[in-house]
Amino acid sequence: MKLTKAQREQLKNKFGGHCAYCGCELGDKWHADHIESVDRVMVDCEKRGIKTTNQMHKPHLDTIENMNPACVPCNLNKSSMSIEGWRGVLGGYRKALIRDSHTFRHSLRFGLVAFTDKPVMFFFEMYQQGTPEAILEAQALRGEHANS
């Protein structure tokens, strides 16, 4: 569904102008993420491999109630995953960093970075607790990142 300007503004403010997932403050460039994927129809494309036709397998899920405001990096990374599926992928990044990045392994050895045992918790989960402390905790955990 194409959101009107008023609907986009309403959605952007759903979590106080923050990305529902990482908690960064949303600027002018942000995405309306489908919480439960609409599963777009994809077709082969010579130039790019595959592309969307913008048709959906689940058009009944294309509602504003099924949308969260998301920064571009979070929306692209979540892709069509469910919230719990994406949570699992994000949690797996710890092992992937150690396995795949010698720079990260060296940084870990020298105490420049550290892991936490905290489970992946999304900003909207903390925000829905409704306390300013929860919001501040979410922001402190995330820091800010560029919307690119």
pLDDT tens per residue, range 88-132: 999 999 999 999 999 999 999 999 999 888 899 899 998 888 766
| Contact of 67 with 82, CB cutoff 8 Å | no
Residue 123 CB coordination number (10 Å):
24
pLDDT over 70 percentage in the chain:
88
User: What pLDDT does residue 141 have?
Assistant: 65
**β-pair type (40-45, 67-70):** unpaired
pTM: 0.83
pLDDT digits (tens, 9 = 90+) for 4-51: 999 999 999 999 999 999 989 999 999 999 999 998 888 998 887 888
User: What pLDDT does residue 48 have?
Assistant: 76
- How far apart, in whole angstroms, are the C-alpha atoms of residue 139 and residue 113? 19
If pLDDT is split at 50, 70 and 90, which confidence band does 144 have?
very low
In a 3-state reduction of DSSP, which class is residue 42?
Answer: strand
pLDDT digits (tens, 9 = 90+) for 8-18: 999 999 999 99
User: What pLDDT does residue 117 have?
Assistant: 81
- How far apart, in whole angstroms, are the C-alpha atoms of residue 70 and residue 74? 6
pLDDT over 90 percentage in the chain:
63
User: What pLDDT does residue 130 have?
Assistant: 74
User: What pLDDT does residue 30 have?
Assistant: 98
**Any alpha helices (H) in 101-131, and if so which ranges?**
102-109, 123-127
